[in-house]
């Protein structure tokens, strides 16, 4: 594929992250190595709690790895910077600013003059089809609109890398489909490098050039699946199914591990009712449904 | 002003006037509304009440703006630095329980019978409320705002100015409002007790001259200032924040 010839943008080399918790330390990530090429759209999938958000925060520079190193363009990541913008699961827009001021925020921090800043902000709001809402306040927007504003805000800072942490998880299916289309369009136009986290295997295959499967705690890279399908793709495309099956098969074992672990905790914690439900779920998954 | 309120206050004033004119009590015990109004107008005309208002407002503005700046800075520091919260934070909470007029004897010993003493008492009324509210605002700040701000390049002072302070502002407003009302009360109490000039002193003068009309007129002025600041300034700020943040019921 084209991406093979592109330079490497992000390198994670043997990255581990442990958190000191109340009952001992939790190893969220262990020995994760990953390369992302410039302009590549990489999706990360893994069971809940496997360390996906942690991985993203590490790349963003919001957390420091316990071991290993993270490089961007060959230089170590030492802290957050606007060249790596994050889209959080909740939009994290600032409620004290209106839409256009939210989008301008990063530019203002860079010291871009007010008139230029406004022009850039409106350009990106146009890109996400929300120019009309430039003067609205955050609480006046729907969930989908918020995520679009957050996307415009991230793009306005003109980052090299977009880090997206389940940005569409809280949206209804129709809104999500529309945003999938918009995101692919914008990505094709801007050619940003994207690292996209999701629970949803179909979403991952629909959006990604490559899907990376993480194992359950501690998170490791379990598999890479290339998605060599033509774009733009839609989530219900038949062509996706083969790759979806491949990723799902790889993921299933990890989800079972996660459920089993929780099941044991429930039994120990004397919650037989919930344990029963979980046991049936694990059984169904194990039989390949 | 709605109609119901208008009728209520109209009736109240009418009742007052009627009760005073009925002559159960002598005017130096219970002055009529009309005589109070005459005293008020005369005081405004000859400038004595105007001077009192100006002097008192000048004092509160000085003390309050100082308190707002110091309280905000202190509150930000307490909210962000754990070591300060455990130490200075609990000291502030403790001192806050002391009615600030109780600082007056100490202030008199420190500063003598001076302008500084009354300003000190007024500052002590406001500064802790503002500090504590600011700290609460900083403490309840969702970490995601900080993360978002930092990834967009806000650091150092800019992080405080553009993220932490505006995010904490809804909390701060309640502290600023409470601080204002504590400061205003402390100032009036302080002026009553000793200071020359100011509304509090006009009140005491009315008492010494047995001029009940003046006493009530000055009380009305004090109430008026309180209402204007509360309704005209703080209520508007709160309303603005609520509509911006979408906190309307
Ligand atoms: N700040 C922290 N302190 C302590 N433990 C943490 C912290 N952040 C994450 N963890 C732990 O690290 C593990 C991975 O968390 P993370 O949020 O990265 O998971 P995730 O894969 O994003 O899950 P989800 O899909 O549910 O969002 C979890 O066990 C979590 O409890
Ligand atoms: Mg997560």
Q: What is the pLDDT of residues B71-101, one digit of tens each?
A: 999 999 999 888 888 888 888 888 888 888 8
- CB-based contact B44:B50 (threshold 8 Å): yes
HEC string of chain A? Answer: CHHHHCCEEEEEEEEEEEEEECCEEEEEEEEEEEEEECCCEEEEECCCCCCHHHHHHHHHCCCCCCEEEEEECCEECCCCCCCEEEECCCCCCCCCCEHHHHHHHHHHHHCCCHHHHHHHHHHHHHHCCCHHHCCCEHHHCCHHHHHHHHHHHHHHCCCCEEEEECCCCCCCHHHHHHHHHHHHHHHHHHCCEEEEEECCHHHHHHHCCEEEEECCCCECEEEEEECCCCCCCCCCCHHHHHHHHHHHHHHHHHHHHHHHHHHHHHHHCCCHHHHHHHHHHHHHHHCCC
> Does the pLDDT of residue A246 top 90, yes or no?
no
Distances (CA, A) of A85 to A58, A62, A79, B152: 12, 11, 12, 7
Domain-located, residue B172: yes
Name the β-bridge partners of A26: A19
CB-based contacts of A98-101 (< 8 A; 24+ apart in sequence): A98/A134, A98/A135, A98/A136, A98/A137, A98/A138, A99/A125, A99/A130, A99/A133, A99/A134, A99/A135, A99/A136, A99/A137, A99/A138, A99/A141, A99/A149, A100/A125, A100/A134, A100/A135
For residue A54, which atom of ligand 1 is closest to its CA? 18
Question: Which residue's alpha carbon is nearest to atom 18 within ligand 1?
Answer: A51
Please report which confidence band the pLDDT of residue B225 belongs to, taking 50, 70 and 90 as the band edges: very high
| Model confidence band, residue A119 (pLDDT cutoffs 50, 70, 90) | very high
Per-residue pLDDT, averaged over B104-119, amounts to: 90
To test the ligand 1 pocket, which listed residue (A15, A17, A18, A19) has its Cβ within 8 A of the most ligand atoms? A19
| Structural domains of chain A, with CATH | 8-83+160-236 (3.40.50.300), 93-158 (no CATH)
Q: Is the CB of A26 under 6 A from ligand 1?
A: yes
Average pLDDT over residues B198-211: 88
Residues of B in contact with A94 (CB under 8 A): 145, 148, 163, 166-167
CB contact at 8 A, B61 and B187 = no
- Least confident among A251-255, B65-69, B93-97, B241-245: A251-255
Select from A200, A261, A165, A220 the least CA-distant residue to A28: A220
Nearest to B179 by CA among B128, B141, B103, B245: B128
Q: For A49-75, what is each residue's pLDDT tens digit?
A: 888 999 999 999 999 999 999 999 989
CB atoms A81 and B144 under 8 Å: no
Q: Is residue B192 situated within a structural domain? A: yes
Count of positions (residues) in chain B: 249
- Tell me if B248 is assigned to some domain: no
- Name every chain B residue with its beta carbon within 8 A of the beta carbon of A88: 144, 147-148
A220 confidence band (pLDDT: 50, 70, 90): confident
- Note the pLDDT of residue A27: 85
The two beta strands, A41-45 and A193-198, are parallel
The model carries a pTM of 0.83
Q: Which domain holds residue B161?
A: 46-198
The pLDDT assigned to B72 comes to 94
Q: What is the DSSP pairing of strand A41-45 with strand A210-214? A: parallel
Between A199 and B12, residue with greater pLDDT:
B12
Asked whether the predicted pLDDT for residue A289 surpasses 50, the reply is: no
CA–chain centroid gap for A254, Å, is: 19
Task: Answer yes or no: is pLDDT of B41 > 90.
Answer: yes
Token reading at B191: 């002026």
Residue A268's pLDDT is what?
Answer: 64
B153 → closest Cβ in A86, A92, A109 = A109
- The answer to whether residue B163 sits within a structural domain is yes
Say if B164 falls within a structural domain: yes
The per-residue pLDDT for A282 is: 67
Cβ-contact B216, B31 below 8 angstroms: yes
Residue A153 and residue A93: Cα distance in Å, rounded? Answer: 9
Residue B25 lies in a domain: no
| Mean per-residue pLDDT, A195-212 | 91
Mean pLDDT of A25-45: 90
Cis upstream peptide for B216 (omega within 30°):
no
| B94 contacts: CB under 8 Å, gap ≥ 6 | none
Per-residue confidence (pLDDT) for residue B188, from 0 to 100: 92
Supply the residue whose CA is at minimum distance from atom 30 of ligand 1. A49
Angstrom distance (rounded) from CA B73 to CA B79: 10
Q: Is residue A170 lining ligand 1, measured as CB closer than 6 Å? A: no
Q: How many domains does chain B have?
A: 1
Out of A22-31, A259-268, B159-168, B225-234, which region has the weakest mean confidence (pLDDT)? A259-268
Res A286: pLDDT:
60
Whose structure tokens read 């501690």? Answer: A218
- Whole-angstrom distance, CA of residue A92 vs CA of residue A95: 9
Give domain status of residue B148, yes or no: yes
Q: What is the DSSP string of B155-172?
A: -THHHIIIIIHHHHHHHH
Please give the distance, rounded to the nearest whole angstrom, from the Cα atom of residue B65 to the centre of ligand 2: 44
A236 contacts: CB under 8 Å, gap ≥ 6: none
Residue B40 has pLDDT above 70, yes or no: yes
Alpha helices in chain B (DSSP H): 3-22, 33-46, 48-80, 82-84, 90-96, 104-111, 115-139, 143-151, 157-159, 165-193, 199-208, 212-227, 235-245
Nearest-by-CA chain A residue for B247: A139
Q: Whose CA is closest to A212, among A74, A62, A37?
A: A37
**Is residue B248 scored above 70 in pLDDT?**
no
> Model confidence over A72-94: pLDDT tens digits?
998 999 999 889 999 988 889 99
Q: What percent of chain A has pLDDT over 90?
A: 41
Buried b (16+ CB within 10 A) or exposed e, A151-176: bbbbbbbbbbbbbbbbbbeebeeebb
What number is the ipTM of this complex? 0.83
Q: Do A96 and B150 touch (CB under 8 A)?
A: no
**Which residue puts its alpha carbon closest to atom 28 of ligand 1?**
A49
Instruction: With beta carbons less than 8 A apart as the criterion, state whether A82 and A104 touch.
Output: no
The CATH number assigned to the domain holding B71 equals 1.10.3720.10
State the pLDDT at residue B77: 92
Q: Which residue, B50, B132, B140, is CA-closest to B90?
A: B132
Q: What local confidence, expressed as pLDDT, does residue A245 receive?
A: 82
Provide the pLDDT for residue A249. Answer: 82
In short, whether A262's Cβ falls inside 6 Å of ligand 1 is no
> Which residues of chain B lie closer than 8 angstroms to A86, CB-CB?
147-148, 151
Percent of chain A with pLDDT over 70: 91
End-to-end CA distance of chain B: 22
B150 pLDDT band, cuts 50/70/90, is: very high
């Amino acid at each position: 594929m084209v991406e093979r010839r592109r330079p490497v943008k992000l390198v994670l080399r043997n990255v581990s992250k442990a958190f000191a918790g109340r009952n001992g330390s939790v190893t969220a990530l262990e020995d994760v190595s990953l390369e992302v090429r410039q302009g590549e759209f990489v999706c990360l999938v893994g069971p809940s709690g496997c360390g996906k958000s942690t991985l993203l925060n590490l790349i963003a520079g919001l957390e420091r790895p316990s071991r290993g190193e993270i490089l961007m363009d060959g230089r170590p990541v030492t802290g957050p910077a606007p060249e790596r913008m994050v889209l959080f699961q909740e939009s994290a827009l600032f409620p004290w600013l209106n839409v256009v001021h939210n989008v301008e925020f990063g530019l203002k921090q860079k010291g871009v003059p007010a008139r230029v800043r406004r022009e850039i902000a409106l350009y990106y709001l146009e890109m996400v089809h929300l120019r009309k809402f430039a003067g609205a306040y955050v609480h006046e927007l729907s969930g989908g609109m918020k995520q679009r504003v957050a996307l415009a805000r991230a793009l306005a800072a003109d980052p090299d890398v977009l880090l997206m942490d389940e940005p569409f998880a809280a949206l209804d299916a129709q809104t999500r489909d529309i945003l999938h289309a918009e995101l692919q369009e914008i990505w094709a136009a801007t050619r940003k490098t994207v690292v996209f986290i999701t629970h949803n295997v179909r979403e991952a295959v629909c959006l990604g050039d490559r899907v990376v499967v993480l194992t359950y705690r501690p998170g490791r890279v379990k598999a890479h699946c290339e998605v060599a399908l033509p774009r733009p793709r839609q989530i219900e495309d038949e062509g996706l199914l083969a790759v979806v099956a491949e990723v799902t098969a790889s993921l299933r074992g990890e989800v079972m591990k996660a459920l089993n672990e929780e099941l044991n905790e429930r039994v120990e914690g004397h919650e037989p009712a919930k344990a029963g439900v979980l046991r049936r779920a694990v059984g169904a998954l194990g039989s390949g449904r | 002003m709605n109609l119901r309120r208008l009728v209520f206050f109209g009736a109240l004033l009418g009742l007052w006037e009627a009760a005073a004119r009925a002559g159960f009590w002598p005017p130096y015990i219970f002055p009529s509304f009309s005589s109070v109004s005459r005293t008020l107008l005369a005081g405004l005309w000859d400038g004595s009440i105007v001077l009192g208002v100006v002097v008192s407002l000048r004092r509160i503005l000085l003390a309050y703006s100082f308190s707002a700046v110091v309280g905000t800075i202190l509150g930000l520091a307490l909210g962000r630095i754990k070591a300060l919260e455990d130490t200075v934070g609990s000291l502030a909470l403790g001192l806050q329980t002391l009615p600030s007029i109780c600082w007056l004897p100490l202030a008199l010993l420190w500063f003598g019978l001076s302008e500084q003493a009354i300003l000190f008492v007024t500052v002590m009324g406001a500064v802790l409320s503002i500090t504590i509210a600011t700290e609460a605002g900083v403490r309840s700040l969702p970490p995601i705002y900080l993360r978002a701000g930092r990834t967009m390049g806000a650091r150092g002072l800019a992080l405080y100015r553009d993220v932490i302070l505006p995010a904490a502002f809804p909390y701060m407003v309640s502290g600023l409002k409470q601080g204002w009302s504590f400061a205003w009360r402390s100032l009036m109490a302080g002026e009553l007790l000793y200071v020359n000039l100011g509304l509090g002193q006009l009140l005491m003068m009315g008492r010494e001259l047995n001029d009940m009309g003046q006493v009530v007129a000055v009380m009305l002025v004090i109430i008026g200032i309180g209402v204007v600041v509360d309704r005209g300034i703080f209520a508007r700020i709160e309303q603005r924040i609520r509509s911006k943040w979408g906190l309307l019921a």
